[in-house]
Amino acid sequence: MEEEETYLELYLNQCAAQDGLAPPRSPLFSPVVPYDMYILNASNPETAFNSNPEVKETCGGFSSVDLSFLPDELTQEDKNQPVIGSKHETEENSESQSRLPSPSDIGLGSNSPSLSNPHSQQHPSDTDSVQASPEKPDSNSLPLASITPMTPVTSVSECCGIVPQLQNIVSTVNLACKLDLKKIALHAKNAEYNPKRFAAVIMRIREPRTTALIFSSGKMVCTGARSEEQSRLAARKYARVVQKLGFPARFLDFKIQNMVGSCDVKFPIRLEGLVLTHQQFSSYEPELFPGLIYRMVKPRIVLLIFVSGKVVLTGAKERSEICEAFENIYPILKGFKKA
Amino acid sequence: MPGRGRCPDCGSTELVEDSHYSQSQLVCSDCGCVVTEGVLTTTFSDEGNLREVTYSRSTGENEQVSRSQQRGLRRVRDLCRVLQLPPTFEDTAVAYYQQAYRHAGIRAARLQKKEVLVGCCVLITCRQHNWPLTMGAICTLLYADLDVFSSTYMQIVKLLGLDVPSLCLAELVKTYCSSFKLFQASPSVPAKYVEDKEKMLSRTLQLVELASETWLVTGRHPLPVITAATFLAWQSLQPAYRLSCSLARFCKLANVDLPYPASSRLQELLAVLLRMAEHLAWLRVLRLDKRSVVKHIGDLLQHRHSLVRSAFRDGAAEVETLEKEPPGQGQGQGEGEVGNNSLGLLQGKRPASPALLLPPCMLKPPKRTCPPPQVSTVTGDEDISDSEIEQYLRTPQEVRDFQRAQAARQAAMSVANPP
């Protein structure tokens, strides 16, 4: 035990020296502890795996430890991902390339933070290794992340295969040149410009069906797309239109600002009960709005929950946040299924 | 009156004792300014009420408080008095207002918003003490828009980080029902329409409980449900004379506003009662309809717990099992209802199989079928053809035509509005 600890310390010092190379990839990663590290050693491992490219080399040193229990995916990695990251890191990556997380994703299961506690089934081996590890100093998400199940099946059966559909993406891009809005409104068929009402040109294209607000500073907001790629394509088309009108438009800093998704859990929900048990997150005022407004802390998403079981999720910057938020809320909603 | 002092605003000695609600006040008969409120005043309360107090006796209390905040605090106290709230509520509401005022966003807000903030503080205080005050009532008192009230309310709850409990339905029923003017005979209320308050209250409460158990209250404004329940309770206590009275007429003679959704809540409640009646042996044979079921509301309420259990199967579980089976009819949620209807028609004398216990929005067929989401294979980096972009641009000829049309329109407009 002593040797493993000092070895880890050495390694950590190395990492600390190269730290600041890449910021933590997303809030999803940092607090979730890769559970395999419990088996390997007893120290705080979460600081170690901050998407540091050096991990790949140093992990070779752990070959002395038996890693055969880990599933095969971990052994073949993406080039740009640390090797012994938590499994969800790999899944995150593949997710961003292929649209939807595959049903066999264990990573999604291990992502479940404090809120989805009740359903996690604990394997004896897990709890043993958990108890062997020392106490976590801080946040309440960590101890519960440590009891997340190792097998993939749990997370899938929880959600019954319901995946939130994206309904709207809002993105911004900088065209990096001053624009003459009057000229744009004159030469473009699909533009409307009413300076007394709003100081931007409202332009629409048919494919993908989106609307853009183009400001004279050269900044543009693109709304209405149903996926990130569609939003990017649409923004490029608007930039091309502006280019064709004679402006030296470029395509800088494309960023997705907001994503809205919706889904249906297909059972009625007792909103009055939900607001009682989750008072610190929920706001339910039937006199003002028929739905319950649930402000999830991690990930930072706002959910509108209706009595018919329909859920609207908004405020996400990435698709994974919406999926994660839905996975967090689904067990809570199931708890309110029966009257 | 001599010896009572002078008015600080105009200096007149003509001070008259007047009362405003329950407060006795000294009012100047010349300029109308209120000199003192209440018989007992102290320098402290005088200063708090924006009365001028001589410097040597002032407590310095209001030095740090801005005039607009003082005005707001006064409004809070006035509102509490108008609503006849217990005295402790006033202090809590004032504390909330002061707390809100510490935030820069509130200090810089418009007067309209500050006015609405007064209502918000009072509402939060009432909610925390389970005092049934609706937002509609406050908006009427403050002549405020519900939208403005709603945004200010949500903002202040978030800003102050408060836990505001939900509106207490039982208390609201008691207060609202008591406001119906049906407990004494009067020229507008015939003798047969007069009802005992306690009986009506208890029956209304039972009906509201039934409504909330059968998903009629969740997500809806609470007041129309209570109106419908009160009406049914009143009708059922003496159905012989009261069945002929409509909901609108009932509200008119009770001197209460009829909220718009109340009639649809009434229909929903009657539908629930009819379903329950199917499972009561001696009512089943009567083949009740929406009017005749009112006579038996007493019986239905007496056995409501067991009736709800037998008349309604768990809608949630039902929808799930229906979906897991291979859909014979190919529909999602409509299956349960369709199945139920056909069964109800087939079985004559026997009770219909239990209906789904679901909120009405889930029982109605969807207005439009959602198209299945198309899986798009867009990568975002595709080539954009020139022709596609050109379809959005005007040709030079079109530009000239457009400019000409615009100029003509401008000319026409300037002719229409001669300088």
If 0-12 CB within 10 Å is exposed, 13-18 middle and 19+ buried, where does residue B27 land? Answer: buried
Question: d(Cα B11, Cα B31) in Å, to the nearest integer?
Answer: 9
Kindly tell me if the per-residue pLDDT of A84 is higher than 50: no
For B372, the closest chain A residue by CA position comes to: A165
Which positions 357-376 of B are in contact with A (Cβ < 8 Å)?
357-359, 361-362, 373, 375-376
pLDDT of residue A339: 47
Decide if B403 touches A, using CB distance below 8 A: yes
Decide if B135 touches A, using CB distance below 8 A: yes
Position A156: which residue type?
V
Our CA angle for B132, B134, B139, nearest 5°, is 145
CATH number (domain holding residue B89): 1.10.472.10
pLDDT of residue A73: 52
Q: Are B142 and B181 within one domain?
A: no
Beta bridge partners of A304: A293, A312
Q: CB-CB: which of A287, A306, A339 is closest to B213?
A: A339
pLDDT digit string, tens, across residues B226-236: 999 999 999 99
Domain hosting residue B298, numbered range: 170-319
Query: Which of B319, B353, B382 lies at the terminal end of a domain, its last residue?
Result: B319
Kindly tell me if the per-residue pLDDT of A134 is higher than 70: no
Q: Are B269 and B185 within one domain?
A: yes
Q: What would the mean pLDDT of B160-178 be, rounded to a whole number?
A: 93
Does any domain span residue B378?
Answer: no
pLDDT above 90 coverage of chain A, percent: 49
Assess contact for B261 and B269: CB atoms under 8 A.
Answer: no
pLDDT digit string, tens, across residues B8-27: 777 777 777 776 776 667 77
Q: Which of A203, A266, A276 should be substituted to probe chain B, the one whose Cβ sees the most B Cβ atoms within 10 Å? A: A266
Decide if A98 touches B, using CB distance below 8 A: no
Q: CB-CB: which of A186, A227, A284 is closest to B402?
A: A186
Assess contact for B327 and B335: CB atoms under 8 A.
Answer: yes
Token couple for A2: 């002593």
Q: Give B413 to chain A, closest Cα distance, Å.
A: 17
Query: Which of B166, B191, B209 lies at the terminal end of a domain, its last residue?
Result: B166
Interchain proximity A230–B220, CB inside 8 Å: no
Q: What would the mean pLDDT of A106-124 be, rounded to a whole number?
A: 41
Q: Which residues of chain B lie closer than 8 angstroms to A205, CB-CB?
A: 392
Assess contact for A257 and A168: CB atoms under 8 A.
Answer: no
Q: What is the largest CA-CA distance in chain B?
A: 94
Kindly tell me if the per-residue pLDDT of A243 is higher than 90: yes
Assess contact for A190 and A242: CB atoms under 8 A.
Answer: no
Q: Are B187 and B303 within one domain?
A: yes
Q: CB-CB: which of A230, A291, A309 is closest to B378?
A: A230
Token couple for A190: 């699909």
Average pLDDT of chain B, as a whole number:
83
pLDDT of residue B57: 66
pLDDT above 70 coverage of chain B, percent: 81
- In this prediction the pTM is 0.68
Interchain proximity A229–B376, CB inside 8 Å: yes
Exposure string (b/e) for A223-234, b if CB count within 10 Å is 16 or more?
bbbbbbbbbbbb
pLDDT of residue B46: 62
Does any domain span residue B19?
Answer: yes
- Helix and strand totals (H; E) in chain A: 12, 10
Decide if B150 touches A, using CB distance below 8 A: yes
Decide if B222 touches A, using CB distance below 8 A: yes
Decide if A264 touches B, using CB distance below 8 A: no
Spell out the long-range contacts of B347-351 with Cβ–Cβ below 8 A and sequence spacing 24 or more: B349/B284, B349/B285, B351/B278, B351/B279, B351/B284, B351/B311
Position A124: which residue type?
P
CATH number (domain holding residue B29): 2.20.25
Does any domain span residue B395?
Answer: no
pLDDT of residue A283: 94
Interchain proximity B357–A283, CB inside 8 Å: no
Interchain proximity B389–A267, CB inside 8 Å: no
- pLDDT category, B355, cuts 50, 70, 90? confident
Does any domain span residue B392?
Answer: no
Q: Give B190 to chain A, closest Cα distance, Å.
A: 34
Q: Are B160 and B174 within one domain?
A: no
Cis, peptide link before residue A299, omega less than 30° from 0? yes
Interchain proximity B380–A244, CB inside 8 Å: no
Decide if A275 touches B, using CB distance below 8 A: yes
Q: CB-CB: which of A205, A279, A291 is closest to B219?
A: A291
Beta bridge partners of A261: A166, A313
Does any domain span residue B332?
Answer: no
Q: Are B180 and B161 within one domain?
A: no
pLDDT of residue B368: 76
Q: What would the mean pLDDT of A97-111 be, rounded to a whole number?
A: 42
Question: d(Cα B172, Cα A38) in Å, to the nearest integer?
Answer: 55
Give the 3-state secondary structure of chain B: CCCCCCCCCCCCCCEEEEEECCEEEEEECCCCCEEEECCCCCHHHHHHCCCCCCHHHCCCCCCCCCHHHHHHHHHHHHHHHHCCCCHHHHHHHHHHHHHHHCCHHHHCCCHHHHHHHHHHHHHHHHHHCCCCCCHHHHHHHHCCCHHHHHHHHHHHHHHHCCCCCCCCHHHHHHHHHHCCCCCCCCCCCCHHHCCCHHHHHHHHHHHHHHHHHCCCCCCCCHHHHHHHHHHHHHHHHCHHHHCCCCHHHHHHHCCCCCCCCHHHHHHHHHHHHHHHHCCCHHHHCCCCCCCHHHHHHHHHHHCHHHHHHHHEEEHHHHHHHHHHCCCCCCCCCHHHHHHHHHHHHHCCCCCCCCEEECCHHHHCCCCCCCCCCCCCCCCCCCCCCHHHHHCCECCHHHHHHHHHHHHHHHHHHHHHCCC
What's the number of domains chain B is made of?
Answer: 3
Assess contact for B294 and B267: CB atoms under 8 A.
Answer: no
Q: Give A246 to chain B, closest Cα distance, Å.
A: 12
Q: Which of B145, B218, B386 should be substituted to probe chain A, the one whose Cβ sees the most A Cβ atoms within 10 Å? A: B218
Q: Are B161 and B176 within one domain?
A: no
Q: Are B174 and B158 within one domain?
A: no
Kindly tell me if the per-residue pLDDT of A149 is higher than 80: no
pLDDT of residue A64: 57
Q: Show Cβ contacts of residue B106 under 8 Å, excluding neighbours closer than 6 positions.
A: B100, B113, B114, B117, B156, B159
Q: Are B158 and B202 within one domain?
A: no
Q: Are B121 and B204 within one domain?
A: no
For A271, the closest chain B residue by CA position comes to: B218
Q: Are B104 and B176 within one domain?
A: no
Interchain proximity A286–B222, CB inside 8 Å: yes
Our CA angle for A35, A40, A43, nearest 5°, is 80
Interchain proximity A338–B218, CB inside 8 Å: no
Q: Give B139 to chain A, closest Cα distance, Å.
A: 12
Assess contact for B291 and B243: CB atoms under 8 A.
Answer: yes
Q: Which of B166, B226, B308, B399 should be substituted to probe chain A, the one whose Cβ sees the most A Cβ atoms within 10 Å? A: B166
Query: Which of B261, B286, B319 lies at the terminal end of a domain, its last residue?
Result: B319
For chain A, how big is the Rg over CA atoms in Å?
A: 24
For B360, the closest chain A residue by CA position comes to: A308
Beta bridge partners of B45: none
Does any domain span residue B384?
Answer: no
Does any domain span residue B390?
Answer: no
pLDDT of residue A101: 41
Q: CB-CB: which of B219, B316, B389 is closest to A337?
A: B316
Does any domain span residue B116?
Answer: yes
Question: d(Cα A70, Cα B6) in Å, to the nearest integer?
Answer: 91
Instruction: Please state which of the ranges A55-59, A69-73, A281-285, B153-157 shows the lowest mean pLDDT.
Output: A55-59
Q: Are B73 and B90 within one domain?
A: yes
pLDDT digit string, tens, across residues A8-66: 667 676 666 666 444 444 444 444 444 444 444 444 444 444 444 444 444 444 445 56
Stated as kind and residue range, the H or E segment containing A210 is strand A210-215
- pLDDT category, B281, cuts 50, 70, 90? confident
Q: Are B143 and B191 within one domain?
A: no
Q: CB-CB: which of B167, B215, B391 is closest to A268?
A: B215
Kindly tell me if the per-residue pLDDT of A90 is higher than 50: no
Q: CB-CB: which of A189, A287, A309 is closest to B221?
A: A287
